[in-house]
Amino acid sequence: MNPQTTRARDAHAPRARRIVVGVSGSIAAYKAPSIIRLLRAAGHEVRTVPTAAALRFIGAPALAAVTGAPVQSGVFDDAAAVAHVQMGEWAELVLVAPASADLLARAAAGRADDLLTATLLTTTAPVVMAPAMHTQMWNHPATRHNVDTLRRRGVTIIDPDAGPLTGSGYGAGRLPEPEQIVARALAALDAARDTAAAAAGAPGDLAGRHVVVSAGGTREPLDPVRYLGNRSSGRQGCAIATAAAARGARVTVVSAHAEPGVLAELPPQVDIVPVTTAMELRDAVRAAAADADAVVMAAAVADFRPAEVADTKLKKHSLRASGGTGEPVRQAAPVIPLVENPDILAGLVTDPPRQDGEHTLVVGFAAETGDADGDVLAHGAAKARRKGADLLAVNAVGTDQGFGDVPNAVVVLDAGGTEVARAQGTKQEVAEALVELIAARLNSRRPSV
């Protein structure tokens, strides 16, 4: 096995944590035992705090059995034990899953009318909430406001999935699968630990470095209301930004429509430059890279853009009468000529924005699938040589190399197409492995300041 990979994995060997799982009154409470079971199976110690409403959906004995400890709901259940303070102090992480609209409202208001909300008020541990409710409730301005308030206070909110809801509804509001919730919650715990280490005075091995990360997906307008775009969430780029910031780097994220919830989880010291099109992204990345030690191009950049952007909304093809015959003639659907966007990544290599003689480490991403012309790595290696980036993270999902069941998996190649490392796991874990490689390369060149 590649030694760099081993180091990245060892750094994430799980350590037993003390985790409070709050369960509130949503039908999704039935998933709480799976979440608790996964946390315990990973070696963590769990205490479960259901609300009274949660206990209408799932029984205390079932929760106690999977937790391996009694469960409490009210602040007066065992007043002598001062549980409302102890539970918050004991926790290294508080995970509320599912978080109902009512729980979000009570937490945002700072209420302490049961053991779970009291725990949220007393804990200094990172808090992760996974909302689940009907779409109307999730979209209601009151809930949006409460979610914003909680995010501003540093709570990690795991956005609900879209899908069929209880009853006849369909939309955003479903609790994500327990595996995803556990992965995100443990990643939030790791990020909080890294931030705390940095705040405690450990400067981090990227202190004094400037890292620029592009994230999200560009949008190329066709007219004032339509665009050509892609579905990139920006999660991988923002995870890289967070990992670099945790090691002390000054970080600029050039965000092409990264999802607001993803941006909200960036550490507050990260600068965010919003852009829309590939050309805007190129200009913003190159401006930020003028003093950058590393640029990571994680954004999905449109390869083409419409040659012209219409000033007014393009009309759907219409029927109009032909001269004299009275027969309607169908106009052809409009053809939209495209022009190629510049390859920003390749441009950073051939025309470096940094003018002071210092080398900027350039890192790209490439999603590849094998085909008749070659396998994933052959295509990745050809792209690495073509683009010339110092490192190219080839996303090998979809191959038969064991990467299919994980949220993300990359093989990292150097500019010559030679494999230098592999990483797989959550996007945070992949991000940390990549930042480890970046830090190693930067710090081998000259000492960090």
CB nearer to ligand C5P: give 87 or 263.
263
Size of the site for ligand C5P (CB under 6 A): 12
CB nearer to ligand C5P: give 89 or 371.
371
- In 3D space, the residue among 294, 412, 274, 393 whose CA is nearest the CA of residue 348 turns out to be 294
* Least Cβ distance, residue 229 to ligand C5P (angstroms): 14
Q: Does 241 bind ligand C5P (CB under 6 A)?
A: no
345, 389 contact by CB (below 8 A): yes
* Contact code string over 283-322 relative to ligand C5P, x by CB under 6 A: --------------x-x-x-x-------------------
84, 75 contact by CB (below 8 A): yes
Pick the piece of the chain touching ligand C5P (CB under 6 A) from 155-163, 318-326, 338-346, 423-431: 338-346
Q: Does 361 bind ligand C5P (CB under 6 A)?
A: no
Q: How far apart are the first and last CA of the chain?
A: 33
Q: Does 256 bind ligand C5P (CB under 6 A)?
A: no
Measured distance CA(56)–CA(50) in Å, rounded: 10
Note if 341 is an active site residue: no
Measured distance CA(218)–CA(216) in Å, rounded: 7
Q: Does 278 bind ligand C5P (CB under 6 A)?
A: yes
Q: Does 344 bind ligand C5P (CB under 6 A)?
A: yes
Long-range contacts of the stretch 351-360 (C-beta < 8 A, 24+) = 352/289, 353/286, 353/287, 353/289, 353/290, 353/292, 354/289, 354/290, 354/291, 354/292, 355/290, 356/291, 358/293, 359/445, 360/289, 360/292, 360/293, 360/294, 360/295
CB nearer to ligand C5P: give 38 or 299.
299
Measured distance CA(325)–CA(331) in Å, rounded: 16
31 is in an annotated binding site: no
From candidates 345, 409, 423, 435, binder to ligand C5P by CB under 6 A: 345
CB nearer to ligand C5P: give 365 or 403.
365
- In 3D space, the residue among 156, 149, 143 whose CA is nearest the CA of residue 97 turns out to be 156
| List 230, 341, 395, 443, catalytic entry | 230
* Contact code string over 374-403 relative to ligand C5P, x by CB under 6 A: ------------------------------
Q: Does 364 bind ligand C5P (CB under 6 A)?
A: yes
* Least Cβ distance, residue 151 to ligand C5P (angstroms): 27
Q: Are strands 161-164 and 156-157 parallel, antiparallel or unpaired?
A: unpaired
342 is in an annotated binding site: yes
Q: Does 216 bind ligand C5P (CB under 6 A)?
A: no
- In 3D space, the residue among 176, 286, 315, 297 whose CA is nearest the CA of residue 240 turns out to be 297
* Least Cβ distance, residue 215 to ligand C5P (angstroms): 10
178 is in an annotated binding site: no
From candidates 8, 91, 245, 366, binder to ligand C5P by CB under 6 A: 366
Measured distance CA(131)–CA(143) in Å, rounded: 10
* Least Cβ distance, residue 345 to ligand C5P (angstroms): 3
CB nearer to ligand C5P: give 97 or 281.
281
Q: Does 365 bind ligand C5P (CB under 6 A)?
A: yes
The set of catalytic residues is 230
- Indicate the annotated binding residues: 303, 313, 342-345, 365, 383, 387
Q: Which parts of this chain interact with ligand C5P (CB under 6 A)?
A: 278, 297, 299, 301, 303, 341, 343-345, 364-366
- Indicate the annotated binding residues for CTP: 303, 313, 342-345, 365, 383, 387
